[in-house]
Amino acid sequence: MGLAVRLSYGTLDELVERFAVNISRGGVFIRTRDPKPVGTLLVLELRLSGGEAAIRGEGVVRWIQAEDPTAHPRRAPGMGVQFTKLDDASRALVERMVELKERRGVAPGVVAPAPIADRPDGTPAPTRAPSAAIPAPPRAAATPTPAPAFPSPAQADLAAPHRAEQLLAGPARLDLGLPASPRPVARPSRAIIGIDLGTSNSCAAIVKDGRPYVIPSREGHNTVPSIVGLNARHRIVVGHLAKAQLLTNPKATVSGAKRLIGRAYDTPLVQEIRAKYPYAIVPGEDGAAAVRLGPETVSLEQISALVLGEVRDVAQNHLREEVNRAVITVPAYYNERQRAAVREAAALAGLRVERILNEPTAAALAYAYGRHLNQRVLVYDLGGGTFDASVLELSDNVYEVVSTGGDTFLGGVDFDGQIVDRLLAIWEERTGVPFPDDRVALSRLVDAAERAKCALSERAEFPVSLPYLALRDGAPIALEAVLTREEIVALVEPLVDRTLDVCREVLLAKGLGTKDIDEVLLVGGQSRMPLVHQKVAAFFGRPPSHAVHPDEAVALGAALLAHSLGSAEGVVLIDVLPMSIGIGLPGGRVKTIIERNTPLPARKQYGLTTTRDGQTEFELAVFQGESGAASECEYLGTLRLGGLPPGPRGMVKIAVGFELGAECLLTVTARELNTGREVQAVMSAREGAEAARRKLEQGGGADAARAQTGNFPAPGPGDVAADAGAGGAAVSNGGRALGGLFRKLFGRRPEAR
Ligand code: ADP
Ligand code: MG
């Protein structure tokens, strides 16, 4: 967790002079009434009174001091934090303080060697290893002189008052400190960052002096792992800290949230992931997939909000100013619900989304921004969990996606899976015993497979060595194997071929051939594999471009778009609908209303007539996908029309307008044609996918059966629906947003199903 301590000293000199007493080379004593449990990992920042950071690093709580008012002098409550990492400037400052203290003869080095921080009273800190769920901190570099003890209580009390005043600043919190409601953005920040919210890693970029760059974190990483965990002390950890516990605490460590966000729980895809992932995936609110962390059911929006919050913190620390606006990228293949979910996650993290941007468009921006190119490019994005292929036509500052396709279940983890299978086979062959049915052992295997895969992008052979995987007759058994590049190429080649099938399809959809592509841009970490280069080059008949950085292009493109929003030389982005949108028909069929690859924004009319005398209500289930079967499409929600004027059946005609904004957000309007009156059209996903499908299969939804497209006058210009935000759907009533009704439907917790 993040811990910021604001001290009462205005300058570094004052800090050195007066705070030295609380510092040793090994750690710091922090006075607080709310000490974190022993073992808690902290990202630590000690700030001067003006807010500037003086000491930054990471640490682990090693002991807690209870308040003792009877002691003389009084003993303040607090915690001893052992440094596990300090940046160079902080280390130098600590060194100055320690030297000063030694000159003054305070707290001579009488105790245990670094890095264990001892108790203020001089008794050694407990040497018990931290609990299994907390990775032991790396041992600090040995210092030539023994580390002095922590200050005695008396000395601690000499220090000017300070306390831990801000614990991971932020949103309204549940027990675990999860973001629970959107954080209002008081004043829009000057800076707009671009965020690549990845399956494996996320990062932020910004444009400065006309050049985009990826914002580094204080620890020197360019990316934040998109991982959230609950540690053994019941604290939420995010990013690198969460990744550190992936091996030891897989059940309470959520990775790959991007594959789950915005998906209904009761879909085959989610069930497939559920069987594979070590953490618990459960039904959440509104039938959405959610995860279980300790006692709580956590939405994927909340998980992603924590990751976005971490990225935002990195950006704020780097820029030293508030950041509450962002352009966030998503796979082109994301449907409407997934996009809406990302928006909601951003709101929970206190970020105003200026634009949701498709990843391939972002990559194309990174490639072509300001270069006035006239080219047709194909963006080949093979990341950790998804594959996307998109064809874009670039002309000057216009970026038009003309065709897009992908596979939301094809990425680096699938490559890892193939290697894991191979390692499992080697294990059984060599040891003759089944691989232990143990999550930790399996996690270690998966981790080793990924390492081997990445290493084999650079070299021809890689030794895998996993000691102590299991016990046989009391003796540990290890897995030792040498993997070769050739071997894994054979294993993963079919996966690369699948990506090329998608490319072929995407080209074909627009009647294009490989010769029609001027440049192929490779992005995503998995595209670094030499096999991918080779196969792509062979397929397109030319080597892919080297002009974009596979890991950074998407974030850089997002930053460039963010930059262009505030500048005169704006870019024009034209996207297409990634998957068709249609409505459910009886018998579980789906009728397409707006075709895939339709340029956005788009609008389509659908005509309905009443089927019963005196009918005043209508229902339409809306789906997204290419299949004609409702069971194979993503359920978006049910459209309810109310307030129809009663009349004989067939005589009341309604034109339903489906409108897709530039970002693929769907809004729906409806107009009763005889009187020209707007009727209420509400999209709600509350019903749940299965219930909606069941209804159709049981012959319900007959309303839709007698509906017909076309032949209805298009609604007039006054018919623009208001964007109702989070749900992605909107309501319209004579041009006025029915915000209250929307909130009533979406704001309330759904009944248990
Ligand atoms: P995402 O956009 O989904 O977060 P990334 O673009 O960060 O994903 O790609 C992550 C994937 O790339 C992981 O599966 C990782 O193992 C893989 N990867 C990273 N570097 C290499 C490499 N040098 N060779 C092969 N695969 C790599
Ligand atoms: Mg990516």
Domains in the chain: how many in total? 3
Tell me the CA distances in angstroms from 94 to 34, 110, 656, one per residue in order. Answer: 24, 18, 68
Q: Per the domain annotation, does 559 fall within a domain?
A: no
Q: What ligand is nearest to the CA atom of residue 554?
A: 2
Beta-bridge partners for 629: 589
- Of the three residues 120, 148, 166, the one that is the final residue of a domain is 166
Q: Tokens 């399996």 appear where?
A: 442
The per-residue pLDDT for 745 is 25
132 and 14 together in one domain: yes
198 and 87 together in one domain: no
Ligand 1 pocket, residue 385 CB under 6 Å: yes
Q: What ligand is nearest to the CA atom of residue 418?
A: 1
Closest CA to 663 of 356, 400, 398: 356
Q: Per the domain annotation, does 282 fall within a domain?
A: yes
Mutate to test the pocket of ligand 1, among 200, 447, 485 (most ligand atoms within 8 A of CB): 200
Identity of the amino acid at 320: R
Report the separation in Å between the CA atom of 285 and the middle of ligand 2, taken as the mean of its atom positions.
28
Mutate to test the pocket of ligand 1, among 197, 342, 409, 454 (most ligand atoms within 8 A of CB): 454
Identity of the amino acid at 87: D
DSSP for 77-96 reads PEEEEEEEEE-HHHHHHHHH
Beta-bridge partners for 751: none
The per-residue pLDDT for 478 is 92
Atom of ligand 1 nearest to the CA of 223: 7
Cβ neighbours of 417 (radius 10 Å):
16
Closest CA to 636 of 646, 626, 625: 625
In the predicted model, residues of the chain with pLDDT beneath 50 are 106-174, 685-686, 701-702, 704-753
Question: Strand, helix or coil at 228?
Answer: strand
Q: Tokens 């620890």 appear where?
A: 219
Residue 590 sits in a domain whose CATH number is 2.60.34.10
Cβ neighbours for 682, distance < 8 A, ≥ 6 positions apart: 639, 640, 642, 729, 731, 738, 741, 742, 745
Cβ neighbours for 369, distance < 8 A, ≥ 6 positions apart: 557, 560, 564, 571
Ligand 1 pocket, residue 453 CB under 6 Å: yes
Q: Tokens 């996690």 appear where?
A: 443
The per-residue pLDDT for 543 is 96
Q: Per the domain annotation, does 111 fall within a domain?
A: yes
Cβ neighbours for 723, distance < 8 A, ≥ 6 positions apart: 661, 665, 667, 730
Question: Strand, helix or coil at 651?
Answer: coil
Q: What ligand is nearest to the CA atom of residue 384?
A: 1
Crossing angle between the packed helical segments 336-348 and 300-319, to the nearest 10 degrees: 50
Q: Number of C-alpha atoms within 13 angstroms, CB side, residue 186?
A: 1
Ligand 1 pocket, residue 137 CB under 6 Å: no
44 and 152 together in one domain: yes
Atom of ligand 1 nearest to the CA of 201: 4
End-to-end CA distance of the chain: 35
Instruction: Take residue 12 and report the two structure tokens written for it.
Output: 């570094």
Cβ neighbours for 659, distance < 8 A, ≥ 6 positions apart: 601, 602, 603, 666, 667, 668, 669, 721
Give the Cα separation of 698 and 587 in Å (integer): 7
The pTM for the full model equals: 0.65
Closest CA to 688 of 387, 348, 285: 285
Q: Per the domain annotation, does 197 fall within a domain?
A: yes
CA-proximal residue: ligand 1, atom 19 (nearest): 525
CA-proximal residue: ligand 1, atom 26 (nearest): 526
Q: DSSP alpha helices (H): ranges in 124-267?
A: 153-158, 240-244, 257-260
Q: Which residues are catalytic?
A: 196, 258, 359, 381
Q: What ligand is nearest to the CA atom of residue 454?
A: 1
Ligand 1 pocket, residue 526 CB under 6 Å: yes
Report the residue count for the chain: 753
Residue 271 sits in a domain whose CATH number is 3.30.420.40
Atom of ligand 1 nearest to the CA of 458: 23
CA-proximal residue: ligand 1, atom 22 (nearest): 454
Ligand 1 pocket, residue 152 CB under 6 Å: no
Question: Domain span at residue 73?
Answer: 2-166
Mutate to test the pocket of ligand 1, among 446, 499, 526 (most ligand atoms within 8 A of CB): 526
Beta-bridge partners for 357: 329
230 and 327 together in one domain: yes
Q: Tokens 């052979």 appear where?
A: 461
Q: What ligand is nearest to the CA atom of residue 226?
A: 1
CB distance 680 to 593 below 8 Å: no
9 and 108 together in one domain: yes
267 and 143 together in one domain: no
At 299, which helix (H) or strand (E)? strand 296-299
CB distance 621 to 638 below 8 Å: yes
Cβ neighbours of 465 (radius 10 Å):
10
The per-residue pLDDT for 25 is 78
156 and 217 together in one domain: no
Question: Strand, helix or coil at 332?
Answer: coil
Report the separation in Å between the CA atom of 302 and the middle of ligand 2, taken as the mean of its atom positions.
20
At 621, which helix (H) or strand (E)? strand 618-624
CB distance 519 to 393 below 8 Å: no
CA-proximal residue: ligand 1, atom 12 (nearest): 525
CA-proximal residue: ligand 1, atom 23 (nearest): 454
Ligand 1 pocket, residue 202 CB under 6 Å: no
Question: Strand, helix or coil at 431?
Answer: helix
Q: Environment class of residue 494 by beta-carbon count within 10 Å: exposed (0-12), middle (13-18) or buried (19+)?
A: exposed
Q: Per the domain annotation, does 667 fall within a domain?
A: yes
The radius of gyration computed from the CA coordinates of the chain, to the nearest angstrom, equals 29
Q: Per the domain annotation, does 123 fall within a domain?
A: yes
The per-residue pLDDT for 727 is 27
CB distance 419 to 454 below 8 Å: no
Atom of ligand 1 nearest to the CA of 524: 6
Q: Environment class of residue 13 by beta-carbon count within 10 Å: exposed (0-12), middle (13-18) or buried (19+)?
A: exposed
Tell me the CA distances in angstroms from 423 to 250, 341, 369, 426, 435, one per residue in order. Answer: 20, 37, 44, 5, 10
Report the separation in Å between the CA atom of 256 and the middle of ligand 1, taken as the mean of its atom positions.
13
Report the separation in Å between the CA atom of 367 and the middle of ligand 1, taken as the mean of its atom positions.
20
Report the separation in Å between the CA atom of 525 and the middle of ligand 1, taken as the mean of its atom positions.
3
Report the separation in Å between the CA atom of 410 and the middle of ligand 1, taken as the mean of its atom positions.
12
Atom of ligand 1 nearest to the CA of 226: 4
Ligand 1 pocket, residue 457 CB under 6 Å: yes
Annotate 367-383 with b (16+ C-beta within 10 A) or e (fewer).
Answer: bbbeeebeebbbbbbbb
Atom of ligand 1 nearest to the CA of 550: 6
- Of the three residues 320, 336, 363, the one that is the final residue of a domain is 363
Ligand 1 pocket, residue 267 CB under 6 Å: no
DSSP state of 310: H
Q: Per the domain annotation, does 387 fall within a domain?
A: no
Tell me the CA distances in angstroms from 641 to 333, 617, 684, one per residue in order. Answer: 29, 5, 11
217 and 157 together in one domain: no
75 and 202 together in one domain: no
CB distance 365 to 570 below 8 Å: no
Report the separation in Å between the CA atom of 203 and the middle of ligand 1, taken as the mean of its atom positions.
14
117 and 209 together in one domain: no
Atom of ligand 1 nearest to the CA of 415: 14
Report the separation in Å between the CA atom of 414 and the middle of ligand 2, taken as the mean of its atom positions.
15
Q: What ligand is nearest to the CA atom of residue 414?
A: 1
Q: Per the domain annotation, does 566 fall within a domain?
A: no
103 and 246 together in one domain: no
- Of the three residues 147, 166, 185, the one that is the final residue of a domain is 166
Closest CA to 328 of 314, 309, 313, 308: 308
Report the separation in Å between the CA atom of 248 and the middle of ligand 2, taken as the mean of its atom positions.
26
358 and 277 together in one domain: yes
Tens digit of pLDDT for each residue in 176-194? 677 877 877 778 999 999 9
Atom of ligand 1 nearest to the CA of 196: 2
Give the Cα separation of 739 and 717 in Å (integer): 21
Residue 446 sits at φ, ψ, to 5 deg, of -65, -45
Tell me the CA distances in angstroms from 220 to 139, 209, 214, 239, 306, one per residue in order. Answer: 19, 22, 11, 13, 20
Report the separation in Å between the CA atom of 71 and the middle of ligand 1, taken as the mean of its atom positions.
56
Ligand 1 pocket, residue 527 CB under 6 Å: no
